[in-house]
Structure 1
Amino acid sequence: MSNIAIEFENISKQYRLGTIGTGTISHDLNRWWHLVRGKEDPYLKIGEVNDRSSKATSDYVWALKDISFKVEQGDVLGIIGKNGAGKSTLLKILSRVTTPSTGVIRAKGRIASLLEVGTGFHGELTGRENIYMNGAILGMTKNEITRKLDEIVAFSGIEKYIDTPVKRYSSGMTVRLGFAIAAHLEPEILVVDEVLAVGDAEFQKKAIGKMKDVSQSGGRTVLFVSHNMSAIQSLTSKCVFLKDGMVNRIGPTEKIIKLYFEDNFSDSLENKLSFIKEDLDENKPIELLTAKIIQSAHSIEVMIEYVVREVVGSVVAIKIINTEEVSILTIIDTDNENIPFRKEVGRHSVRFQIPQDILTPNTFFMTVSFSDMKSERFDFYEKLLSFSITEYNDILDSEKRGGIIRPSEQYVITP
Structure 2
Amino acid sequence: MSDDVILKAVNVSKQYRLGTVGTGTLSHDLNRFWAKIRGKEDPYLKIGAVNDRSAAATSDYVWAIKDINFEVKRGEILGIIGKNGAGKSTLLKILSRVTSPTTGSIKTKGRIASLLEVGTGMHPELTGRENVYLNGAILGMTKTEIASKIDEIVEFSGCQMYIDTPVKRYSSGMRVRLGFAVAAFLEPDILVVDEVLAVGDAEFQKKAIGKMQDISNTSGRTVLFVSHNMGSIQQLCTRCLLLEDGSVLYDGESSVAIDKYLSSGLSNFESELVSQFLQNQNDEVFNLKAVSIYQKDVDHKVFYSNMPIVVSFKYEVLKSTLGLRIGFDLYDFKSGVVLWRTYHDDLSEEIVALEDGDQYLQVEIPYNLLKAGSYALKPIASIHNLRWIINDDEFVYLFDVENTSGVDSVYTGYRPGVIMPGLKWNVLRD
Q: TM-score, normalised by structure 2?
A: 0.67
2:325 maps to 301
Which ranges of structure 2 fall in alignment gaps of 5 or more residues? 275-316, 328-338, 344-361, 369-377, 398-430
Where in structure 2 are the equivalents of 1:123-162 lying within 5 Å?
123-162=124-163
Shift of 1:149: 0.4
2:121 maps to 120
2:188 maps to 187
2:254 maps to 253
SS state of the match for residue 36, structure 2?
Answer: helix
1:224 maps to 225
How far apart are the structure 2 equivalents of 1:90 and 1:233?
21
How far apart are the structure 2 equivalents of 1:169 and 1:9?
40
Query: Structure 1 residues 156, 80: CA separation in 2 closer, same or farther (over 3 Å shift)?
Result: same
**Contact map agreement 2:80 2:242 (CA 8 A) in 1:** yes
Which stretch shows the higher mean deviation, 52-61 or 204-213?
A: 52-61
Where in structure 2 are the equivalents of 1:45-56 lying within 5 Å?
45-56=46-57
1:325 maps to none
Query: Structure 1 residues 33, 343: CA separation in 2 closer, same or farther (over 3 Å shift)?
Result: farther
Identity of aligned residues (%): 61
1:32 maps to 33
1:355 maps to 381
For 2:325, give the aligned amino acid. Answer: E
**Contact map agreement 2:273 2:322 (CA 8 A) in 1:** no
> Deviation digits for residues 322-344 of structure 1, max 9, x if unmatched?
xxxxxxxxxxxxxxxx9544469
Query: Structure 1 residues 155, 11: CA separation in 2 closer, same or farther (over 3 Å shift)?
Result: same
1:77 maps to 78
2:170 maps to 169
Query: Structure 1 residues 402, 154: CA separation in 2 closer, same or farther (over 3 Å shift)?
Result: same
1:331 maps to none
**Contact map agreement 1:354 1:405 (CA 8 A) in 2:** no
Shift of 1:115: 0.3
1:200 maps to 201
SS state of the match for residue 27, structure 1?
Answer: helix
Query: Structure 1 residues 32, 178: CA separation in 2 closer, same or farther (over 3 Å shift)?
Result: same
1:59 maps to 60
1:362 maps to none
SS state of the match for residue 67, structure 1?
Answer: strand
Query: Structure 1 residues 205, 301: CA separation in 2 closer, same or farther (over 3 Å shift)?
Result: same
Shift of 1:402: 7.0
2:235 maps to 234
Which stretch shows the higher mean deviation, 30-39 or 95-104?
A: 30-39
Query: Structure 1 residues 255, 108: CA separation in 2 closer, same or farther (over 3 Å shift)?
Result: same
Matched, 1:89 2:115: no
Shift of 1:52: 1.5
Where in structure 2 are the equivalents of 1:347-386 lying within 5 Å?
354-356=380-382
Query: Structure 1 residues 316, 73: CA separation in 2 closer, same or farther (over 3 Å shift)?
Result: closer
For 1:182, give the aligned amino acid. Answer: A
Shift of 1:318: 4.8
SS state of the match for residue 266, structure 2?
Answer: helix
For 2:28, give the aligned amino acid. Answer: H
**Contact map agreement 1:73 1:220 (CA 8 A) in 2:** yes
Shift of 1:269: 3.5
SS state of the match for residue 55, structure 1?
Answer: coil
How far apart are the structure 1 equivalents of 2:232 and 2:212?
11
How far apart are the structure 1 equivalents of 2:173 and 2:67?
35
Shift of 1:38: 2.0
How far apart are the structure 1 equivalents of 2:27 and 2:394?
58
Structure number with greater Rg is 2
How far apart are the structure 2 equivalents of 1:400 and 1:257?
24
**Contact map agreement 2:380 2:391 (CA 8 A) in 1:** no
Which ranges of structure 1 fall in alignment gaps of 5 or more residues? 274-293, 304-314, 320-337, 345-351, 360-386, 407-415
1:284 maps to none
Query: Structure 1 residues 402, 182: CA separation in 2 closer, same or farther (over 3 Å shift)?
Result: farther
1:214 maps to 215
**Contact map agreement 1:5 1:108 (CA 8 A) in 2:** yes
**Contact map agreement 1:196 1:204 (CA 8 A) in 2:** yes
**Contact map agreement 1:79 1:240 (CA 8 A) in 2:** yes
Shift of 1:31: 1.5
How far apart are the structure 1 equivalents of 2:96 and 2:272?
44
For 1:355, give the aligned amino acid. Answer: A
**Contact map agreement 2:77 2:216 (CA 8 A) in 1:** yes
Shift of 1:264: 3.6
SS state of the match for residue 20, structure 2?
Answer: coil
How far apart are the structure 2 equivalents of 1:85 and 1:3?
29
**Contact map agreement 1:299 1:354 (CA 8 A) in 2:** no
SS state of the match for residue 265, structure 1?
Answer: coil
Query: Structure 1 residues 402, 21: CA separation in 2 closer, same or farther (over 3 Å shift)?
Result: farther
How far apart are the structure 2 equivalents of 1:258 and 1:116?
27
Shift of 1:21: 2.7
Shift of 1:266: 3.7
For 1:94, give the aligned amino acid. Answer: L
How far apart are the structure 2 equivalents of 1:146 and 1:316?
53
Q: TM-score, normalised by structure 1?
A: 0.70
